[in-house]
């Protein structure tokens, strides 16, 4: 019996060693190009570094991630095309730029969709968030995880926006996105679509009165130099999405895919924590720079949400009512 146990233990140990060696053999030396739009010192840059370090650590250095900041591999659209063609391996970018590739992504453009980060995390990391990501595969992309850009808030030079009527007559720069344009037109603003690269100059020359972005962007872009009022509306929650080239992903072993997915989840958790801490600090800094900050009441937010229904219906028409209802059902279950 003793000999049998020793022999069994030896077989088990040998089997475990073989399995470990086999898993190690499943990881080949690879260079992974990971592109993103912001600079290395940004929340995107810090999270990209976490992703690269986690992948290197878990693969014993075989999988090397080379990060490319400041859109050096191109805009989000250009990088997405490179991924679909297999010319680039990975990237992180806006979900909004993927709407033309997978219409389901438009659901995240819905005005006043989420009330809190907890709600957003619950829905994005749950089955419906995965379902929306899965729509990318038929187009040559693999969605891995959602990072956070953050809630968008309003700044302008005309008046504090405390109630819906305060939007009237404000020339407001918005992203060149039909849902955003329609949302602010419904509020009574004069919605002016402009590329982000032109925004500071437009504010400085008074070509537009205001804009809307997360706190982090308002601070880093120094909009406090050309804006008087910041109104906390949280009107849209903007996620980023980490994607991989499907052509490249399908050539990886299961072990390699597992390493990259685990690292992506760690980078997601780190990025969200970092972004939220940065947002709190950004708001404090914006106030120190002299901007007048006001928080819009829940009652007025509900009025704005009701007023935005035509724009929300555009999203429903784009993604389909079944998916929109699934998202709403998940939000209803989510913690606030």
Please state, in angstroms and rounded to a whole number, the distance separating the CA atoms of residues 215 and 150.
Answer: 8
Asked if residue 250 lies in contact with residue 137, where contact means CB atoms within 8 angstroms, the answer is no
Mean pLDDT in residue range 242-248: 98
Q: Please give the pLDDT value at position 223.
A: 96
Residue 210, pLDDT above cutoff 50: yes
Is a pLDDT exceeding 50 seen at residue 323?
Answer: yes
Cα(first)–Cα(last) distance of the chain, in Å?
60
pLDDT at 196 (0 to 100): 84
Structural domains of the chain sorted by starting position, each given as residue range(s) with its CATH number in brackets: 28-333 (3.40.190.170)
Predicted local distance difference test score (pLDDT) of residue 17: 45
Could you report the per-residue pLDDT of 155-209, keeping only the tens digit for each?
A: 999 999 999 999 999 999 998 888 999 999 999 999 999 988 899 999 999 999 9
DSSP 187-238: HT-EEEE--GGGHHHHHHTTSSSEEEE-HHHHHHTTGGGT--EEEEEEEEEE
The predicted structure's pLDDT at residue 164: 96
Average pLDDT over residues 236-248: 97
Q: What whole-number percentage of the chain has pLDDT above 90?
A: 86
Which of the four pLDDT bands, split at 50, 70 and 90, describes residue 112? very high
Residue 193 has φ and ψ, to the nearest 5°, of: -75, 130
By mean pLDDT, which of 18-32, 118-132, 322-336 is the weakest? 18-32
Query: Residue 75's pLDDT is what?
Result: 87
Mean pLDDT of the chain: 93
The predicted structure's pLDDT at residue 175: 87
* Segment 258-281 mean pLDDT: 98
pLDDT over 60 (residue 235): yes
Which of 21-25, 156-160, 283-287, 326-330 has the lowest average pLDDT? 21-25
User: What percent of the chain lies above the pLDDT cut of 70?
Assistant: 93
11 versus 120: the higher-pLDDT residue is: 120
Supply the pLDDT for residue 197: 80
Q: Which residues on neighbouring strands pair with residue 143, listed in sequence order?
A: 243
> Is the pLDDT confidence value at 304 over 90?
yes
pTM score > 0.85 for this model?
Answer: yes
- pLDDT exceeds 60 at position 253: yes
Question: Would you state the pLDDT for residue 19?
Answer: 43
Report the 10 Å Cβ neighbour count for 5.
Answer: 9
């Amino acid at each position: 019996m003793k000999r049998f146990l020793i022999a069994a233990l030896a077989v088990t140990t040998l089997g475990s060693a073989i399995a470990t060696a086999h898993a190690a053999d499943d990881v080949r030396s690879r260079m992974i190009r990971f592109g993103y739009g912001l600079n290395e010192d940004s929340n995107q840059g810090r999270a990209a570094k976490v992703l690269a370090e986690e992948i290197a650590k878990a693969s014993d250095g075989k999988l090397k991630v080379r990060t490319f900041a400041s859109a050096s591999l191109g805009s989000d659209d250009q990088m997405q095309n490179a991924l679909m063609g297999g010319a680039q391996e990975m990237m992180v970018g806006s979900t909004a730029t993927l709407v033309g590739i997978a219409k389901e992504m438009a659901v995240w453009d819905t005005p006043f969709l989420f009330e809190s980060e907890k709600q957003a995390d619950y829905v994005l990391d749950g089955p419906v968030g995965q379902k929306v990501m899965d729509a990318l595969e038929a187009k040559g992309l693999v969605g891995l995880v959602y990072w956070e850009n953050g809630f968008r808030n309003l700044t302008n030079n005309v008046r504090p926006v405390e109630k819906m009527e305060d939007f009237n007559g404000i020339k407001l720069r918005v992203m060149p996105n039909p849902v955003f344009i329609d949302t602010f037109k419904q509020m009574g603003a004069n919605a002016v679509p402009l590329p982000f690269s032109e925004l500071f100059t437009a504010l400085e020359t008074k070509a537009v009165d205001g804009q809307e972005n997360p706190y982090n962007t308002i601070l880093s872009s120094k909009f406090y130099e050309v804006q008087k009022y910041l109104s906390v509306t949280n009107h849209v929650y903007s996620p980023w999405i980490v994607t991989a080239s499907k052509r490249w992903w399908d050539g990886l072993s299961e072990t390699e895919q597992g390493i990259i997915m685990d690292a992506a989840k760690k980078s997601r958790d780190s990025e969200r924590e970092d972004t939220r801490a940065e947002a709190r600090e950004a708001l404090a800094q914006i106030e120190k720079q002299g901007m007048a900050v006001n928080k819009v009441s829940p009652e007025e937010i509900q009025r704005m949400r009701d007023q935005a229904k035509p724009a929300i219906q555009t999203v429903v028409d784009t993604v389909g009512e079944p998916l929109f209802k699934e998202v709403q059902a998940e939000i209803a279950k989510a913690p606030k």
